[in-house]
Amino acid sequence: MLQLPLILACIFIFFMLRLDRKQYPEATYALWIPAIWMLLITSKGSIAVWFGAGGEMDEGNSLDRLLLSVLLIIALLILIKKRFNWANHIKDNSWLMVLICFTLVTVLWSDMPFVSFKRWIRWTISAVIMAFVVRTEVEPRQALLSVFRRVVYVNIPLSIIVVRFYGDLGRQYVPWSGDLTWIGVGTHKNALTALCVFAMFFLVWTFIRRWRSIEKPTTWYQTYLEVFIFLLAFYLFMGPQHSLTYSSTSLVCLVIGVATLLIFNWLKKRNIVLNANLISIFIGFIILFGTITPFMGHLPFFDVSEVLNRDSTLTGRADLWDRLVPCAKQNFLLGYGIGAFWSDLRIDEMRSMEAHNGYLDVILNYGLVGLILFSIFLLNSSRKAHREIIKNSDWGIFWFCVILMTLIQNIPESSLSPFTGLFRVALLLQICCQTGTQSKPIMETDNYASCAKVSN
């Protein structure tokens, strides 16, 4: 009987993928390479887990290495076949390339250089290569939407199935408290809720585009099916306790993301564009806020933990930061090298696989220099998103909201250093949404750029 829900879910997923195909019929088969890559890294973080295989953190496992290698080789062959213009795209993403080159250089002072180099390939190069493959499509932005839809259409229904019918894969008990958590296709509770946040935000953005007649559904019932997926994501988001504060971080990200989306659309109707310098100052403040949080051991300036039903230690994060901050200060300038700090031995010692603060993880991996480069990249990306708001409002707003949610998420969680989660989405948007080498112009239904006025 357990096979029946899975079969029905697979039929539903297949049907939704057919709708996606109709939504963007120009998609080539090459687009399945970045789609499969993104599906794999958002589901358990490892294909081997689905087959009961594991592997140490340092060594990984042969199945994952083989599959990622095959995907990267195919992606590179696609870029060669399509005569991808490397020079132009590297120039369009100069600060990203500087950041990637620096992360490679950190391999030189890593205690385990070969492991660090493999993580550099897995964390950084794979994300950029897959984004470049999306960029080669006739309409890169529509292709990116197709990738996002495939991730949402597959992972949300599949998470429901494994949570409800395959508890050994979809559920997890917290070792120190015994509390039941849902992990779905993710690796842990926060990974699933982060996936749900992206799915819900993406669908809300899609609904607004359809309401404004920028995008049309392929059939009259597509929107209703997507509302159903939204409700599934919301159900998973609340967890076994059916509580909005099941994951406080994800709740804050979702509220801020949707609120920002609505505010920018409200400003758009009044032909108002916020000043670029004001946005940069705001982004810089959040980066500073997130960076000093672990060094202070609590949220600076204002503490919202009680509002979210959390204690002042942020569910034990303060204790973890107390142990990690001295380590960060030892190699404060250049860090320990990409992926070198979180060895199997260090994971056992700290009883964690991450710093639960993306900015601290960046310092541990790349030091202060790396944090500065990450900050410059994010500030540069936000300014590009601001320019896109003037040219093509809905894409620019989506881009900026993802950057903002990424920065918020990385205050109590980590996704910056390993190029995961929402930061990966921001990176894909950075590469695929720029107009410098855009293949085809993207039409906007209003003349927002011509009548926009700047608000200081």
What is the pLDDT tens value at each position of the chain, 456 positions in all?
668 899 999 999 999 999 999 999 999 999 999 999 999 888 776 666 666 555 444 455 677 788 889 999 999 999 999 999 998 888 888 999 999 999 999 999 998 898 889 888 888 898 999 999 999 999 999 999 999 999 999 999 999 999 999 888 889 887 666 788 999 998 888 889 999 999 999 999 999 999 988 889 999 999 999 999 999 999 999 999 898 888 888 999 999 999 999 999 999 888 888 899 999 999 999 999 999 999 988 777 666 655 566 666 677 788 899 999 999 999 999 999 998 888 878 888 888 888 899 999 999 999 999 999 999 999 999 999 999 998 888 999 999 999 999 999 999 988 887 777 888 888 888 888 775 444 443 334 444 444 444 343
- Residue 297: the pLDDT is 84
* Residue 42 confidence (pLDDT): 81
Q: Which long-range contacts (CB under 8 A, 24 or more apart) does 213-217 make?
A: 213/445, 214/394, 214/444, 214/445, 217/23
Query: What's the maximum distance between 2 C-alpha atoms anywhere in the chain?
Result: 62
Count Cβ atoms within 10 A of the Cβ of residue 453 and give its class: 0-12 exposed, 13-18 middle, 19 or more buried: exposed
Intra-chain end-to-end CA distance of the chain, in Å: 62
b/e string for 274-294 if b means 16 or more Cβ within 10 A?
A: bebeebeeebeebbebbbebb
| 3-state DSSP assignment of residue 332 | coil
Q: How many domains does the chain have?
A: 1
φ and ψ of 38, to 5 deg = -70, -35
Range of the domain at 240: 3-455
Of the candidates 406, 381, 386, the residue with the CA atom closest to the CA atom of residue 397? 386
Query: Residue 418: what pLDDT?
Result: 77
Closest CA to 28 of 399, 443, 395, 439: 439
Q: Check: CB of residue 187 under 8 Å from CB of residue 263.
A: no
Q: Distance (Å, rounded) from C-alpha 220 to C-alpha 206?
A: 15
